[in-house]
Chains A and B, each alone.
Chain A
Amino acid sequence: METTNRNAASLALKGTRIAITGGTSGLGLALVRECIARGAAVAFIARTRDRVERVAEEIRSRGNIHGIVGDIARKDDIHSLALQILGTLGGLDVLINNASSLGATPLALLADTECEDFEGALAANVLGPFRLTKTLLGALAASARERRGSVVLNISSDAATNPYAGWGAYGASKAALHQMSRIWNEELGEDGIRFLSVDPGDMDTPLHALALPDADRAALKRPEMAARELVDKIALALASLRSPRASDQAESASVA
């Protein structure tokens, strides 16, 4: 509710259709709650049915929420997930690729990382977001053409740019995701789809605890705070895509 006090109505997301991967814990859960609080219709994905149902149940009375069970790292799950997202929401304006894997836990030096763990990080952090985004691009582009605005937010990390020892599989995969976001943004700008790649900072989440069990939790950012900042960025991007100036540009770009 602070959001509505703090900001203009442009940061509300009433009627915006948002899909979030990894929505039952940490940053993903905070993003689900934040989007619902701003009036969005949300479909979230996670692997464990119990947890999906628990989160959906908790939030149901507060908004339009749909929990979907599946694993974005599996190619065979992608269309089933996309179908359920588009079926339940009736279309899609915003995709948040949040689900992510550390690869090896506990963290390992790259030379000690099992091949399978490295592949697991790539599947969850690069291939999954690639496949899901590719599959949903038609719906996202339709939203852009209808002037609803269309945004893909990929959750990045400072490990995508800094070479931290022990973060090899995760860092390499997040670097690939970051670069993929930038290229997609370059290629699909004319189609009206904006890609954001954002590092939310070090947060007090289960993923962080898995990576660094001895970290001082008090020094870490709360995921609710990070979620608010990220959703602000989405709302601002949508507002600029929906503004008459943006649609004029899109129109003249497509007609000129």
Chain B
Amino acid sequence: MIAANAPRKRRSDAKLLVIDAHAHIAHARRRTLATRLRRFDLVVANDAMTLPASLAGIHVRTGHAVEIRLAGCRTLVGEIGPFTAVLFGAGDFRTRTEDRPLPPGLEKGDLIALGPLRATIEETLGHPRLVALRFEGSPASVWEGIARHGRPIQYAHMAAPLAMWDVWTPIAGAPLAFEPPSAGFVLDWKTLAAIRARGAQFATITHAAGLSSTGDPELDRRLPLDEPYRIPATTARAIGETKRRGGRVIAVGTTVVRALEDAASRDGVVHGGESVATQRIGADTVLRVVDAIVSGTHEPGTSHYELLRAFADDVTLRRAAAELDARDYHTHEFGDSVFIERRVRCVACATRHAPRLAA
């Protein structure tokens, strides 16, 4: 695959690799996504807006320069934060995260000055880079500080730094994502109209998508972090209707799968409201809600790839990876996309696996 190195996220020639429920692979233009839909299907996307989660500053006790990447939050309601954050030593995005130095030794109570913002380390989290931190000041002043001082998280494979205009998804609402919910780039307003024209519906959830990779293998094994999410009552109702009518629930992005399957883990029904997704989804997961996923292309070993294993078996995913390579698909956040229907499973297998799905 080719790394997509320019944020031309709404490329009209973007590609879509399709894996159907019988493991057949086909290739299409991404802009024809809506033609894959049937009457009564429901497309569900994550409308979280991407925060400018990279903040440059100084570790006050040692005077060392650091970069903080806000990586996740624990709740959607009330005041802003506390945040889980990953710290890097001096340097910028042109150095691959794998090669970035560690920050100075971090201790509970340490102060970090970040432009107009001041943050205190509330807790260290068992890794030299990972902490829980809280900003000082009123919510309004914290929002202003993040809005003015923060930058989108950058990627070493990009030719030029990303601006907020590059990471904004057309449907973005509440500012809660720490990396762009990149699958959301497949949706524009024309596609939403095309979804309606197919007799399908569109709904959203808000899922605080955390950092997907840090470049540190030990840290990456702990991903995804726990992620709070909110499912509007109207979305929960639409999912119920879709199931009753025999339509498919199509998740745009891995975060949507995580939220919907978490919400249904109790009794198989998606309930509206707020909760925190803590589960990992992988080959052993029996999906109870989501029938298909639209996603970016992901490489084996990432938590995103693991999640795709709940939809298609490894042989099929390996065949798909070979096709992506052979046909010059672009990978990464601003690359091409895949559409994967959940494979048909025998009833007996599903029954055998059912008790494990919350694991």
Q: Which stretch, A33-41, A142-150, A230-238, touches the partner chain B?
A: A142-150
CB distance from A30 to the nearest CB of B (A): 23
A255:B199 contact, CB within 8 angstroms:
yes
Partner among A75, A87, A142, A187 whose Cβ is within 8 Å of the Cβ of B47: A142
**B62 in the interface, Cβ–Cβ < 8 Å?**
no
B169:A84 contact, CB within 8 angstroms:
no
CB distance from B206 to the nearest CB of A (A): 8
Partner among A91, A145, A255 whose Cβ is within 8 Å of the Cβ of B234: A145
**What is the interface of chain A mostly: helix, strand, loop, or mixed?**
helix
CB distance from B198 to the nearest CB of A (A): 11
B170:A80 contact, CB within 8 angstroms:
no
Q: Which stretch, B122-130, B142-150, B209-217, B273-281, touches the partner chain A?
A: B142-150
CB distance from A37 to the nearest CB of B (A): 21
**B168 in the interface, Cβ–Cβ < 8 Å?**
yes
Chain B stretch 159-183: residues in CB contact (< 8 A) with chain A? 164-165, 168-175
Q: Which residue of A lies closest to B202 (CB)?
A: A254
Which B residues are CB-close (under 8 A) to A139?
A: 47, 49, 172-174
A142:B202 contact, CB within 8 angstroms:
no
Partner among A86, A187, A255 whose Cβ is within 8 Å of the Cβ of B49: A86
**What is the interface of chain B mostly: helix, strand, loop, or mixed?**
mixed
B232:A146 contact, CB within 8 angstroms:
yes
B80:A138 contact, CB within 8 angstroms:
no
> How far is A138 from B80 in the complex, measured between Cα atoms in Å?
21
Q: Which residue of A lies closest to B196 (CB)?
A: A254
**A66 in the interface, Cβ–Cβ < 8 Å?**
yes
Given A87-B80, A91-B174, A138-B173, residue A253 in contact with residue B196 (CB < 8 A): yes
Please report the total number of B residues contacting A with Cβ < 8 Å. Answer: 37
Which B residues are CB-close (under 8 A) to A146?
A: 232-234
A83:B189 contact, CB within 8 angstroms:
no
A138:B47 contact, CB within 8 angstroms:
yes
> How far is A141 from B49 in the complex, measured between Cα atoms in Å?
13
**A207 in the interface, Cβ–Cβ < 8 Å?**
no
0/1 string, A176-215, CB within 8 A of B gives 1: 0000000000011011000000000000000000000000
Q: Which residue of A lies closest to B205 (CB)?
A: A142
A145:B204 contact, CB within 8 angstroms:
yes
Given A145-B232, A190-B196, residue A83 in contact with residue B51 (CB < 8 A): yes
A256:B147 contact, CB within 8 angstroms:
no
> How far is A137 from B204 in the complex, measured between Cα atoms in Å?
14
Q: Which residue of B lies closest to A65 (CB)?
A: B140
Which B residues are CB-close (under 8 A) to A20?
A: none
CB distance from B80 to the nearest CB of A (A): 7
Q: Which residue of A lies closest to B139 (CB)?
A: A88
Partner among A68, A81, A135, A142 whose Cβ is within 8 Å of the Cβ of B168: A135
Partner among A135, A137, A141, A254 whose Cβ is within 8 Å of the Cβ of B201: A254
0/1 string, A61-86, CB within 8 A of B gives 1: 00000111100000100011111101
**B203 in the interface, Cβ–Cβ < 8 Å?**
yes
Which B residues are CB-close (under 8 A) to A254?
A: 196, 201-202
Partner among A81, A86, A190, A191 whose Cβ is within 8 Å of the Cβ of B173: A86
Which B residues are CB-close (under 8 A) to A188?
A: 189
Please report the total number of A residues contacting B with Cβ < 8 Å. Answer: 34
Chain B stretch 110-151: residues in CB contact (< 8 A) with chain A? 139-140, 143-144, 146-148
Which A residues are CB-close (under 8 A) to B172?
A: 135, 138-139
> How far is A253 from B202 in the complex, measured between Cα atoms in Å?
12
> How far is A72 from B101 in the complex, measured between Cα atoms in Å?
39
CB distance from A184 to the nearest CB of B (A): 10
Which B residues are CB-close (under 8 A) to A191?
A: 189, 192
**B193 in the interface, Cβ–Cβ < 8 Å?**
yes
0/1 string, B194-236, CB within 8 A of A gives 1: 0010010111101000000000000000000000000011110
Which B residues are CB-close (under 8 A) to A142?
A: 47, 171, 173-174, 204, 206, 232
Which B residues are CB-close (under 8 A) to A75?
A: 165
B49:A83 contact, CB within 8 angstroms:
yes
Q: Which residue of A lies closest to B143 (CB)?
A: A87
A147:B234 contact, CB within 8 angstroms:
yes
Q: Which residue of A lies closest to B40 (CB)?
A: A255
Partner among B143, B168, B201, B203 whose Cβ is within 8 Å of the Cβ of A84: B143
Given A138-B169, A142-B204, residue A87 in contact with residue B175 (CB < 8 A): yes
CB distance from B237 to the nearest CB of A (A): 10
> How far is A84 from B143 in the complex, measured between Cα atoms in Å?
6
> How far is A145 from B238 in the complex, measured between Cα atoms in Å?
11
> How far is A180 from B172 in the complex, measured between Cα atoms in Å?
21
Q: Which residue of B lies closest to A79 (CB)?
A: B164
Which A residues are CB-close (under 8 A) to B51?
A: 83
Which A residues are CB-close (under 8 A) to B165?
A: 75, 79
CB distance from B323 to the nearest CB of A (A): 33
Provide a sorted-by-A list of 16 A–B residue pairs whose CB atoms are within 8 angstroms: A68-B144, A75-B165, A79-B164, A82-B49, A83-B146, A83-B147, A84-B143, A87-B147, A138-B49, A138-B170, A142-B174, A145-B203, A190-B193, A191-B192, A254-B201, A254-B202
Chain A to chain B: the 5 pairs with minimum beta-carbon distance, closest first? A79-B164, A139-B173, A87-B143, A80-B147, A138-B171
With contacts A87-B175, A142-B173, A255-B40 known, what are 14 further pairs, Cβ within 8 A? A67-B140, A82-B49, A83-B49, A83-B147, A84-B147, A88-B140, A91-B173, A138-B49, A138-B172, A142-B174, A145-B203, A145-B234, A254-B201, A255-B201
